């Protein structure tokens, strides 16, 4: 775990400050790939959607990177955007390209560490070195390291080559999608991290309460409709999914989010299985990487680095979500 300061790697854990609260830093590469290559509003650099030009660096462990893998899969962009997978262990060098357990290495440049990709894009970069990274092979630079924006690019910019019939973020539903995301992100997606990385009792309990309030609210919502935004699957579902699928295996124990498991919520657990069973999705979920990463990499949280053997997970068990209407 560490970060770059003026392009130099420093080995440092997150600084939670006096209040013990974990604060996620803002992603710094924020350009957009567009159909015509014109810079997005307010941006200077433009990137044109082209098959074979872009590449994703991801971790199977990371819920934010996982969003991009799901979109690449569902939008049928596997032949359009290539991918490399980092090793699950994130130690003093940050994410590495060690080839093991399905990690691919850096197939573009043969680098050892992900921070070398960041300094290739910007030799004086200062900040955290995170996945996912959306890389432009032509300009040899990072387009974006913000998953929320990368998935919106994947959703529409590559429709000439991908599945244009699937729109996970339709403009007509954008307001509702954004409203759900604004609830799910702080309380749930980032809420588990706020609980797990808190360094005071108070900060932990605040995050814990927010998290379970958020989960209760989503449980209730999913008792009325098949998906978070009515009868149509959207981006909001996939953003919740990547946290739910890790919850019982990791967040419940490792991050001390142990009021209830997802398995204890009838609607959330059936919904999780419904999403998991959508063709292609299971291939994006790697429980070995997920467990090995969290338990072994966060030394301050789990100094022995022992990875628990359980729990038993069966995302392929039948679900009851067909009781709700589904948009055609």
Ligand X SMILES: N[C@@H](CCC(=O)N[C@@H](CS)C(=O)NCC(=O)O)C(=O)O
- Positions that interact with ligand X (CB under 6 A): 1, 27, 62, 64, 94, 128-132, 145-148
Q: Give the nearest distance from C-beta 114 to ligand X in angstroms.
A: 8
Identify which of residues 108 and 148 has a Cβ nearer to ligand X in the complex.
Answer: 148
Distance of closest approach, residue 55 Cβ to ligand X, in angstroms: 16
Q: Is the Cβ of residue 250 or residue 268 nearer to ligand X in the bound state?
A: 250
d(CA 232, CA 167) in angstroms, rounded, equals 10
Q: How far apart are CA 63 and CA 255, in angstroms?
A: 14
In the complex, minimum distance from the CB of residue 88 to ligand X, in angstroms, rounded to a whole number: 11
Using CA atoms, how far residue 244 sits from 96, 174, 189, 227, 304, in Å, is 26, 22, 9, 14, 25
Query: If DSSP codes are grouped into helix, strand and coil, which group holds residue 18?
Result: coil
The response to whether 174 counts as a known ligand-binding position is no
How far apart are alpha carbons 210 and 203 in whole angstroms? 11
CB of 305 to ligand X, least distance (A): 17
Check the annotation: does 80 bind a ligand: no
Q: Look at residue 301 and give its three-state secondary structure.
A: coil
Active site residues: 62, 193
Tokens of residue 192, six digits:
């588990």
β-strand partners of 127: 4
Q: Is 129 annotated as a binding residue?
A: yes
Is 183 flagged in the annotation as binding? no
Residue 311: how many CB atoms within 10 A of its CB? 11
Q: Which one, 22 or 265, has the nearer CB to ligand X?
A: 22
CB closer to ligand X, 96 vs 145: 145
DSSP state, residue 17: T
Tokens of 274: 């419904």
> Is residue 13 annotated as involved in ligand binding?
no
Q: What minimum distance in Å lies between the beta carbon of 81 and ligand X?
A: 16
DSSP 97-166: ----TT----TTT--SBHHHHHHHH-TT--EE--S-EEEETTTTEEEE--HHHHHHHHHHTTTTTS-TT-
Of the two residues 10 and 35, which places its CB atom closer to ligand X in the complex?
10
Beta strands 133-136 and 54-58: pairing type? antiparallel
Question: What is the phi-psi region of residue 39: left when phi exceeds 0, alpha when psi lies from -120 to 50, beta otherwise?
Answer: beta
Output the smallest distance, CB 23 to ligand X, in A. Answer: 11
| Separation in Å, CA 194 to CA 112, 179, 203, 323 | 30, 21, 8, 35
The residue (of 177 and 222) whose beta carbon lies closer to ligand X is: 177
Rounded to whole angstroms, how far apart are CA atoms 220 and 223? 5
> CB under 8 Å to 68, separation ≥6 — which residues?
56, 58, 132, 134, 147, 150, 151, 154
Residues forming the annotated binding site? 95, 128-131, 146-147
Residues forming the annotated binding site for glutathione? 95, 128-131, 146-147
């Amino acid at each position: 775990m560490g970060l770059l300061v003026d392009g130099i790697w420093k080995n440092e854990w997150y600084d939670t400050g006096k209040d013990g609260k974990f604060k996620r830093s803002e992603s710094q590469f924020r350009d957009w790939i567009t159909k015509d290559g014109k810079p997005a509003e307010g941006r200077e650099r433009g990137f044109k959607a082209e098959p074979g030009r872009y590449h994703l660096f991801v971790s199977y462990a990371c819920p934010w990177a996982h969003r991009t893998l799901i979109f690449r899969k569902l939008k049928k962009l596997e032949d359009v955007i290539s991918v490399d997978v980092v090793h699950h262990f994130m130690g003093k060098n940050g994410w590495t390209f060690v080839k093991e357990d399905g990690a691919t290495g850096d197939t573009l440049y043969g680098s050892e560490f992900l921070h070398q990709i960041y300094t290739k894009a910007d030799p004086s970069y200062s900040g955290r070195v995170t996945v996912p990274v959306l890389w432009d092979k032509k300009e040899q630079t990072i387009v974006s390291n913000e998953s929320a924006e990368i998935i919106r690019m994947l959703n529409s910019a590559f429709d000439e080559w991908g599945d244009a019939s699937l729109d996970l973020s339709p403009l007509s539903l954008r307001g509702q999608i954004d409203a759900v995301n604004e609830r799910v992100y702080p309380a749930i997606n980032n809420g588990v991290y706020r609980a797990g990385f808190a360094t005071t009792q108070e900060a932990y309990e605040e995050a814990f309460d927010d998290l379970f309030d958020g989960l209760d609210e989503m449980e209730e919502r999913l008792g009325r409709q098949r998906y978070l935004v009515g009868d149509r699957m959207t981006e909001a579902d996939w953003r919740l999914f990547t946290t739910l699928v890790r919850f019982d295996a990791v967040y419940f124990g490792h991050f001390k989010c142990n009021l209830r498991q997802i398995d204890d919520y009838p609607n959330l657990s059936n919904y999780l299985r419904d999403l998991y069973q959508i063709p292609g999705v299971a291939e994006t979920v790697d429980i070995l990487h997920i467990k090995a990463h969290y338990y072994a990499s966060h030394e301050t949280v789990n100094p022995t680095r022992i990875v628990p053997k359980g729990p038993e997970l069966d995302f392929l068990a039948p679900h009851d979500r067909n009781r709700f209407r589904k948009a055609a």
